[in-house]
């Protein structure tokens, strides 16, 4: 059963530390989304990629967040320095443009999420 | 105005009733519309998709889309306690197929 793999599942760190979250998309999927979920804001889109190229990262605080896809099997989201307000669950989701639905529609499969707590 | 809005809820219905979940969106040229279900502590999972005006039925679920009014809804017939979860509306728009979610509505089905 194909799935999106995220690591770490849980991370507790202190303010000011660097945090790196990793995502392995489903093999063959060419689109990767990063979302952040909190009770107050719900699911917020941070950045997304197609064929490893960034399409939109307007939802991401540029001064401390960065997202990359060094290769087709790995997407990373880095926070440096981390702050308590970054505490949230970070989801990675992958999809394949044109799969099943009308051309252009992404069917996204979500990873289990990385729960980040910044003290 | 937020791009995708859902009634804040929570919504509570008795077992066997119809649950009606609503969503509005701001981008008139949005292309595709999705409903995801998220159980507590789990990740969202896709349950329905719809792209053209009208109704789409899948088992106990019916998605409804009205592009002129910019709303999409989800009906759950014969609600079961196992349907208790948060339901997220998602809208795809733009040339790059950006997928934006609403904040979700929590449904509780009382036995």
> Which pLDDT does position B44 carry in this prediction?
95
The answer to whether the beta carbons of residues A58 and A46 sit under 8 Å apart is no
Nearest beta carbon to residue A102 from set B43, B51, B104: B51
> Which pLDDT does position A58 carry in this prediction?
86
Q: What is d(CA B79, CA B83) in angstroms, rounded to the nearest whole number?
A: 7
Chain length of chain A: 119
Q: What is d(CA A93, CA B7) in angstroms, rounded to the nearest whole number?
A: 25
The answer to whether the beta carbons of residues A112 and A76 sit under 8 Å apart is no
> Hey, is B82 helix, strand or coil?
helix
What average pLDDT does the segment A85-97 reach? 92
> Which pLDDT does position B1 carry in this prediction?
61
Closest CA to A24 of A4, A49, A39: A4
**Upper half-sphere CA count for residue B103 (Cβ side, 13 Å):** 12
Nearest beta carbon to residue A105 from set B92, B100, B101: B92
pLDDT digits (tens, 9 = 90+) for B53-90: 999 999 999 999 999 999 999 999 999 999 999 999 99
A 99-118 residues with CB below 8 A of B?
101-102, 104-113
Q: For residue B88, how far is the Cα from the chain centroid? A: 5
CA distance B101 to chain A (A): 6
The answer to whether the beta carbons of residues A81 and A65 sit under 8 Å apart is no
> Which pLDDT does position A105 carry in this prediction?
47
Q: Do A110 and B45 touch (CB under 8 A)?
A: yes
Q: How confident is the model at residue A97 (pLDDT cuts 50, 70, 90)?
A: low
Q: Which residues partner with B109 through β-bridges?
A: B13
Tokens coding A91: 């989801």
Question: What is A2-38 written as a DSSP string?
Answer: ---EEE-SEEEE-TT--EEEEEEPPTT--EEEEEEEE
Which is more confident, A87 or A105?
Answer: A87
The answer to whether the beta carbons of residues B74 and B61 sit under 8 Å apart is yes
Q: What is d(CA B19, CA B80) in angstroms, rounded to the nearest whole number?
A: 10
Closest CA to A42 of B96, B6, B34: B6
pLDDT digits (tens, 9 = 90+) for B2-53: 789 997 679 999 999 999 999 999 988 888 899 999 999 999 999 999 989 9
Q: Do A41 and B103 touch (CB under 8 A)?
A: yes
Q: What is d(CA A41, CA A115) in angstroms, rounded to the nearest whole number?
A: 15
Peptide bond preceding B10 in cis form (omega within 30 of 0): yes
> Which pLDDT does position B98 carry in this prediction?
84
pLDDT digits (tens, 9 = 90+) for A14-34: 999 999 999 999 998 888 999
Nearest beta carbon to residue B32 from set A56, A105, A112: A105
Chain A CB contacts of B99 under 8 Å are 33, 45, 48, 106, 108
> Which pLDDT does position B97 carry in this prediction?
78
Q: How confident is the model at residue A101 (pLDDT cuts 50, 70, 90)?
A: very low
- Mean pLDDT of all residues belonging to chain A: 90
* pLDDT of B100 higher than 70: yes
> Which pLDDT does position B95 carry in this prediction?
75
* pLDDT of A99 higher than 60: no
């Amino acid at each position: 059963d194909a799935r999106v793999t995220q690591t770490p599942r849980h991370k507790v760190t202190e303010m000011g530390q660097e945090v790196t979250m990793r995502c392995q998309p489903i093999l063959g999927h060419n689109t990767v989304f990063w979302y952040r979920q909190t009770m107050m804001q719900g699911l917020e889109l941070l950045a997304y990629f197609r064929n490893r190229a960034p399409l939109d990262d307007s939802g991401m605080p540029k001064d401390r967040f960065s997202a990359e896809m060094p290769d087709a099997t790995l997407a990373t989201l880095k926070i440096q320095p981390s702050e308590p307000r970054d505490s949230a669950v970070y989801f990675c989701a992958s999809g394949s443009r044109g799969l099943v639905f009308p051309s252009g529609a992404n069917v996204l499969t979500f990873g289990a999420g990385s729960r980040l707590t910044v003290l | 105005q937020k791009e995708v809005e859902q009634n804040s809820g929570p919504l509570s219905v008795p077992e066997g009733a119809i649950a009606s979940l609503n969503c509005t969106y701001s981008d008139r040229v949005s292309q595709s519309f999705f409903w995801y279900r998220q159980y507590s502590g789990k990740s969202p999972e896709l349950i329905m998709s719809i792209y053209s005006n009208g109704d789409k039925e899948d088992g106990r679920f019916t998605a409804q889309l009205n592009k002129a009014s910019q709303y999409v809804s989800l009906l759950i017939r014969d609600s079961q306690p196992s349907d208790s979860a948060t339901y997220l509306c998602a809208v795809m728009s733009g040339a790059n197929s950006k997928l934006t979610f609403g904040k979700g509505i929590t449904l509780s089905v009382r036995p």
